[in-house]
Chain A
Amino acid sequence: MALLEVNGLMKSYQPGNPILKDVSFSVEAGEFVAVIGPSGAGKSTMLRCLNRMVDIGEGQVFFDGKDVGAQNKKGLRDVRKHIGMVFQHYNLVPRLTVIENVLHGRFGYKSTLQGVLGRFTEAEKRKAFDLLEKLGIAEHAYKRCDQLSGGQQQRVGICRALIQDPKIILCDEPIASLDPNSSKVIMDHLKTISIDFGITCIVNLHQVDVAKDYANRIIGLKKGEVVFDGPSPLLTERFTDEIYGMKTVVETRELITV
């Protein structure tokens, strides 16, 4: 069985206005998948259904052989601790230090009391520093997160996801609020993670060219439906036209140069 399987996933916040209509796909371990589509296509909702941050409407999500929708509170916690998540706005606790924020990723493995008292093992702390080292922000370990730049904060967010020892990392628009340089750093790190650690990545993006550069596979969403699912090189202009319902980025660029 694949690491992640989505069967006939449907979701609507208001009746009669579905966000996702019958989404099905499966992801093997180690894949780097980009999900593209215009705003409002349901990318974020779909990603959040995978770890049930948003309740699943109809259909099933299987993660590592477990039916995510059928889990009780404890089971869901167990599922979530193996799924890392990275957000557009980093979602760190700004007033806490970098290292504290990274260690937050271990809460899934701790009892409530251990978490509340902040008792982390030596091994966990060492791991946290190793990860910061790997992402090149070890020197900021004791700084408050609100003193870091956006790109640095996003790297803290990635460390927090990695310290969970996740089987998969879900990234919701990880570079949408970053400048081009920081975006490249973040995408390079995500790529390294998927190759070196063998962690599966699903990344929501709205830059088609970035998706093509980094992902092995692209899923195109449009109005809650999968309209493209295949290896990145096969995503031709015809498909991007269909997904975005307009002339592609490449063509506009040509127009501007002329």
Chain B
Amino acid sequence: MNETVLKKRKFQMTLLFLGVIVLTYLSAWITDYGFISSLEAVPGAMAWMASNLLVNGEALGKLPDIMDKLIETIFMSIAATTIAAALSLFLAIMGSKTTMVNRAFGTFSRFVASLSRNIPVVAWSLILLLSFGQNSVTGFLALFVGTVGFLTRAFIETIDEAALGSVEALRATGATYWQIVSKAVVPQGLPQMVSWVLFMIETNIRSATLVGILTGTGIGYMFDMYYKTMNYEVVALITITIVLAVILIELLSTRIRKVIL
């Protein structure tokens, strides 16, 4: 009995594995992707990077400008994330099954969250570019909209997980809705929520570069400009500063998370 179950399990695993191989082969065949030829291209690409992406003294002269734009981008990401977090908290309280006021509000807020989450941030920036033009508001809004979607979803799960029992208990004492939200749901969920906000700030600083390229704002625009004028030394410098900034922010938020959780 037991042996046949195990044999069946093994057979299923083999089948799955074969399936993945066939699927990979098929996709490569359909898209004309040559595995060997792409491997052959790697050394050449490496050599190009090594000879072109070198920071020289002239590029270093641009550093103050780059830092300006970088700091602008970082602060824009932080502002977009924190403002989005405030809205998300409200939407999540409305959308969570535990703290839902009524079905209509709940469905509405989950719909808003899902809509803004499932349209990728790149698409948002292009859509907003058409309506708002090329300025930093567009970049801000693109990050804002995507963040609201993600954070609402994360907050809803935090609330559902954290507060079910205490909400019931406070309801039984005759507490009002906002008393329950402010004294049971928020205190219990806050550390988790702050952690999500920090994660989102990290993500947004990364996406801000891409959004900047598309909407012509911040460090992304600078990157795009020097890239298109083939000034690769500066491009290299910009890339390095972005990487360092992201690493720094990540270390910082890991620290904060350790303290609050």
Contacts and interface: CB of A to CB of B under 8 A. Distances in A.
A161 B174 CA distance: 11
Interface stretch (A78-86, A176-184, A249-257): A78-86
B175 A115 contact: yes
A95 B174 contact: no
B171 A53 contact: yes
Interface stretch (A11-19, A100-108, A128-136): A100-108
Number of chain A interface residues as a range: 35 or more
Given A89-B165, A93-B166, A83 B183 contact: no
B183 A51 contact: no
A201 to B, nearest CB: 15
B241 to A, nearest CB: 39
Contacts, number: 86
Given A93-B188, A116-B183, A108 B166 contact: no
B170 A116 contact: no
B165 A96 contact: no
A113 B231 CA distance: 60
Interface string A68-88: 000000001111110111010
A79 to B, nearest CB: 8
A80 B170 CA distance: 10
Nearest to A110: B179
A118 interface: yes
Contacts of B118: none
Contact of B183 (A87, A108, A115): A115
Contacts of A110: 179
A95 B183 CA distance: 11
Contacts of B177: 112
Between B169, B173, B176, B183, the greatest number of chain A beta carbons within 10 A of the residue's beta carbon is seen for B173
A51 B172 contact: yes
Q: Is the interface of B mostly helix, strand, loop or mixed?
A: helix
Contact of A107 (B165, B168, B179, B191): B179
B183 A104 contact: yes
Contact of A81 (B166, B173, B188, B191): B173
A93 B187 contact: yes
A96 to B, nearest CB: 6
A21 to B, nearest CB: 25
Contacts of B165: 87, 89-92
B96 to A, nearest CB: 16
A110 B179 CA distance: 9
A107 B166 contact: no
B52 to A, nearest CB: 53
A112 B169 CA distance: 17
A81 B176 CA distance: 11
Nearest to A111: B176
B197 interface: no
A160 interface: yes
B182 interface: yes
Contacts of A94: 188
A164 interface: yes
Contact of A164 (B173, B182, B184): B173
A107 B172 contact: no
Contact of A115 (B169, B179, B187, B188): B179
A112 B177 CA distance: 8
A92 B183 contact: no
Interface string B163-205: 1011011111111111100111001100100000000000000
Given A85-B169, A92-B166, A107 B188 contact: no
B163 to A, nearest CB: 8
Nearest to B178: A112
25 contacts: A53-B168, A79-B174, A81-B174, A83-B172, A87-B165, A87-B168, A90-B165, A92-B166, A93-B184, A93-B188, A94-B188, A95-B187, A95-B188, A95-B191, A96-B183, A104-B184, A107-B179, A112-B176, A115-B178, A115-B179, A115-B183, A116-B178, A116-B182, A116-B183, A157-B169
Interface of A: 51, 53, 76-81, 83-85, 87, 89-96, 104-110, 112, 115-116, 118, 157, 160-161, 164
Given A104-B173, A105-B173, A116-B178, 7 more contacts: A85-B173, A91-B165, A93-B184, A104-B175, A107-B173, A108-B175, A164-B174
